Structure 1
Amino acid sequence: MRPMDGDDVIEAVAGCTTALRPAVDRDWRAVRAGRVEWDCHATAVHVADDLIAYAASLAGRAQDAYVPFELTLDEGTDNAGLLHVIETTGALLAAAVRTAPPGVRAFHPSPFRSTDAEGFAAMGIAEVLLHTHDMAEGLGIGYEPPAGLASSLLACLFPHVRPGPAPWPTLLWASGRGELPGRAPVTGWTWYHNLVIPAERVTLVGVRPSAAHDLRLGGDGGFSWLDGGPYDGTRRACSALLKAYEAGVHRPEFGVFALVRHEDGRAIGGMGFHGVPDEDGRVEIGYDLVEGARGQGYATEALRALADWALAREDVGSLFATVERDNTASQAVVGRAGFTQVSDEGDEFAYELRR
């Protein structure tokens, strides 16, 4: 499991064209693509159309809707030419992903209205892998992508899905294309991008399972950290996120966020939830900052933004936080963010913020 990039797009497209090229002399319009409603020709055009649409959205920094254009093939384009179109549009998406500056996001509707370069790479790869499977199934030819590619794709776009014994069958099951022992058939599905929550001077950037895996092992998770961060609290939170993902109970909107400073793009700390809301709508929150970012109001600002986002949801009624008795700075943070002290027993104080 690792972050997805332009090289993965190229690998996915190469696997697609290698699998389908032996069947270019067949009539793709006469063969249905697996379980989807399209024939193989229409499915291949759809793949190319999505690849160029994702490249355009990312390169054009689309904010409220897709870039308004559509791919059209020249009259008489044969199957070999169509594969060339897929290779070309895949290369354009890979280039857009590779050249996108850190932190750039663009429009995609599902489910948080935007995603970053890794998200666009993953969506393009998903279109290629899953629809190559559909076409190969219809044409009666073999196809299976590398396990590492499928594993990374699951962690990026399906963080709510418990990993199975093998990544490719799990991905097929998660997208309604196969069965998995011990799990009910999937009849409706979606993918998830990482959530970002803006604040005045920082943005809370959702940490994906692949980034959490790297942070747990002592890496930077793809972020540029101030003062050699993050601190142990963020790494422990990422370890808990990985355990939730592996158990199939991770919900990406209630995970861990890196606090990324606007002025220089540096990550200055971590903040997030200790799990999903309980049956009473109560959810615990925690955070830490690197030393160089303390005492400047960043934690208060980020906590207010996260609290506002959480309490606007129907499934959250209150936020809860515990602070060590001698940590007066953190006590001041939760107080400024509107929390009230509800307990002062033992070595920690408990604070709560209700809707």
Structure 2
Amino acid sequence: MHAMGEDQVKEAVAGSVALLRTATDQDWDGPRAGLLEWSCRFTAEHIAGDLIAYAGQLAGRAQTAYVPFEITVEDSTDNAGILDVIEATGALLAAAVRTTPREVRAFHPYPFRSANREGFAAMGVAEVLLHTHDIAEGLGLPYEPPAELAEYVLTGIFPHVRPGPDHWRTLLWATGRGELPGRARLTEWRWSNNLVLATDRLTLQGITPAAAADLRAGGDGGFEWLDGGPFEGTREASEWMMKAYEAGIHRPEFGLFALVRRSDGRAVGGLGFHSAPDEEDRAEIGYDLVPGARGHGYVTEALRALSQWALARADVRSLFATVERDNAPSQAVLSRVGFRQVSEDVGDEGLLAYQLRG
């Protein structure tokens, strides 16, 4: 089942506070937190600040910048009091995640200028896990969160990172805090919320590895589908996407998108790339719709938007699509968007090939 994030925030905060409460009698001002330049106390305050900031973004529906406020911990607050603040701000983020509608997005700068409730939950969990690790190192405490929480973060906001057998060690490596055999140590890193493109009637919502895994397993990927969808092509595309993710070659902006109606928030189909652009800067694209959404021009609208976005990039010179010879509606969609037939009898199935150049 696809996780919304409320339970993960609660679990991460509870585990962090339980550990750090065993060391409230230690000095938190002197020791540095792991590899950070911050003290353990400042890092703990930073956790609380991030949790309340993410809750504020969701609650305030901020669209262009962070809500202009920050939390201040009184100087007289002891270590136990700081943990009380972390518990309180964690509860506020969990509540914001629970009460925010799925379609709401709020401002976050990296990399596509917004995140939904799942993105903010994953970022909050990441802040808690990673900075608890930093503080634990500074205080000499053993810390390893549940593997499921590390996997939740990786499959939500690190879609570009090849998963490893140990989710926690992979997350530490992905954030410059550890080493993995066969991988160079990172000195710079970023997480990545999903890309969303808007059209008049739709939003094209990038599907995360977490959502793709759920779709592959027969779930809904966290979307409310029209007519009991998704269609089988979307599940197959999720399988391809997961194979690329597991191989470490997935580029999230060239993955799979759910087509979601803006009028009611229902997903009506899938659209996306088979892979990142090849050596000729060409990317193959495919799509499907649930039967009840056909005949309304949704694919034409979505394909036009995604094609314009892709061809505006420096690394895409042309788009390619194949279609069955007897699928006249799909051929008409490609033609309306500007694709032109360039060959036939492609592959074992004798498909027609269409191309759109930038």
TM-score by length of 1: 0.98
Are positions 1:319 and 2:303 aligned together? Answer: no
Correspondence for 1:276: 276
For residues 157 and 225 of structure 1, the distance between their equivalents in structure 2, rounded to whole angstroms, comes to 23
1:2 touches 1:152 (CA, 8 Å); kept in 2? no
Correspondence for 2:99: 99
Deviates most, 343-352 or 211-220: 343-352
2:355 match: secondary structure? strand
Runs of 5+ consecutive residues of structure 1 not aligned to the other structure = none
- Give 1:353's aligned amino acid: L
Deviations 1:241-294 (A, max 9, x none): 111111111111111111001111111110000000011110000000111111
For residues 271 and 288 of structure 2, the distance between their equivalents in structure 1, rounded to whole angstroms, comes to 7
Correspondence for 1:42: 42
Map 1:158-169 to 2 at 5 A: 158-169=158-169
Correspondence for 2:85: 85
2:2 touches 2:220 (CA, 8 Å); kept in 1? no
Map 1:1-355 to 2 at 5 A: 2-345=2-345, 347-355=350-358
For residues 219 and 168 of structure 2, the distance between their equivalents in structure 1, rounded to whole angstroms, comes to 27
Runs of 5+ consecutive residues of structure 2 not aligned to the other structure = none
2:303 match: secondary structure? helix
1:65 match: secondary structure? coil
For residues 17 and 2 of structure 2, the distance between their equivalents in structure 1, rounded to whole angstroms, comes to 24
Superposition deviation, residue 118 in structure 1:
0.4
The CA RMSD measured in Å over matched residues stands at: 1.0
Superposition deviation, residue 316 in structure 1:
0.7
Superposition deviation, residue 2 in structure 1:
4.8
1:3 touches 1:156 (CA, 8 Å); kept in 2? no
2:205 match: secondary structure? strand
For residues 328 and 342 of structure 2, the distance between their equivalents in structure 1, rounded to whole angstroms, comes to 16
Deviates most, 70-79 or 51-60: 70-79
- Give 2:173's aligned amino acid: W
1:4 touches 1:153 (CA, 8 Å); kept in 2? no
Deviations 1:158-213 (A, max 9, x none): 11111112111111111000111111111110001111110111111111111111
1:4 touches 1:122 (CA, 8 Å); kept in 2? no
Deviations 1:45-95 (A, max 9, x none): 111000000000011001010000111112301110000000000000000
For residues 212 and 151 of structure 1, the distance between their equivalents in structure 2, rounded to whole angstroms, comes to 14
Superposition deviation, residue 3 in structure 1:
3.0
For residues 283 and 3 of structure 2, the distance between their equivalents in structure 1, rounded to whole angstroms, comes to 28
1:156 match: secondary structure? helix
2:2 touches 2:221 (CA, 8 Å); kept in 1? no
Deviations 1:294-325 (A, max 9, x none): 11111100000000111111111110001110
For residues 344 and 185 of structure 1, the distance between their equivalents in structure 2, rounded to whole angstroms, comes to 47
How many residue pairs match? The answer is 355
